[in-house]
Structure 1
Amino acid sequence: MPWIFTDEMRFYLHEGESLLDGMLRTEHKDVRYMCRQGFCGACKMRVKGATDAPKAKQTPLAHLDDDEVLACCCVPTGTMVVSYDTDKPNKSWQHQRTDGAWHLQKTSIISRQIFYKIDG
């Protein structure tokens, strides 16, 4: 049961539930979406950190940077921190993707308690 941390709250996902489905279930106020098929890119979110690389429910067709996912296609397999802000990287969380895993470069109380792979 993956835990998700968003700009609004923390919650857990049910088995096989996409990130978007979990956000709608937990009544996120700022969640954006349109097609729910990976075409439009409206549900694009920046990944700030994750314990495991997420799986894809379907292959997204929208353009994504290396640290972005589409919430409608993303099925997290471990704890994940995501943000609605895709315009610029968050300065308090510096991340780097190597070997298919997200590594945090700055530690915090949350990152020490949740994340297994921490650089820094």
Structure 2
Amino acid sequence: MPWIFTDEMRFYLHEGESLLDGMLRTEHKDVRYMCRQGFCGACKMRVKGATDAPKAKQIPLAHLDDDEVLACCCVPTGTMVVSYDTDKPNKSSKAWQHQRTDGTWHLQKTSIISRQIFYKIDG
């Protein structure tokens, strides 16, 4: 049963559980993820210090540095210390987001092109 340490808490993973599944189970609501299959790289996390080599559910296609893992594909075999970017809005991006009372994020302002596409589709 591998132990995982983040900046916020420590928790254990069930046998064969991915890092992302364990983080979602333990209510890490600020974890970025999207495809859950290693394509997008949204759940990229940095591994701090030495660790046992994790197994992979599948081979990730996203580019990774030597000290990075994709949480959706990573199945730790031993204790692991990870850090990650939280899912907070980036004011320099074209789309602003805003936090709902339940802790999730939703789109507040989109780019002009996105709005034009939406209006053409929606009528």
Structure 1 length-normalised TM: 0.69
Q: Distance in 2 between matches of 1:118 and 1:49?
A: 49
Match of 1:98, SS state, is coil
User: Is the contact made by 2:3 and 2:12 (CA closer than 8 Å) also made in structure 1?
Assistant: yes
Shift of 1:66: 0.4
Larger-gyration structure (1/2): 2
Q: In structure 2, do the counterparts of structure 1 residues 93 and 53 end up closer, same or farther at CA, with 3 Å as the change threshold?
A: farther
91-100 vs 7-16, which moves further? 91-100
Taking only aligned residues, the RMSD between alpha carbons, in angstroms, comes to: 16.3
Shift of 1:29: 2.4
Report % sequence identity.
98
Instruction: Return 5+ residue gaps in structure 1 as ranges.
Output: none
Instruction: Return 5+ residue gaps in structure 2 as ranges.
Output: none
45-54 vs 19-28, which moves further? 45-54
Q: In structure 2, do the counterparts of structure 1 residues 118 and 88 end up closer, same or farther at CA, with 3 Å as the change threshold?
A: farther
Q: State the Cα deviation string for residues 22-75 of structure 1 (Å, max 9, x = none).
A: 000000022110000000000000000243111111000000000000000000
How many aligned positions are there? 120
Deviation beyond 4 Å, 4+ runs, structure 1? 85-120
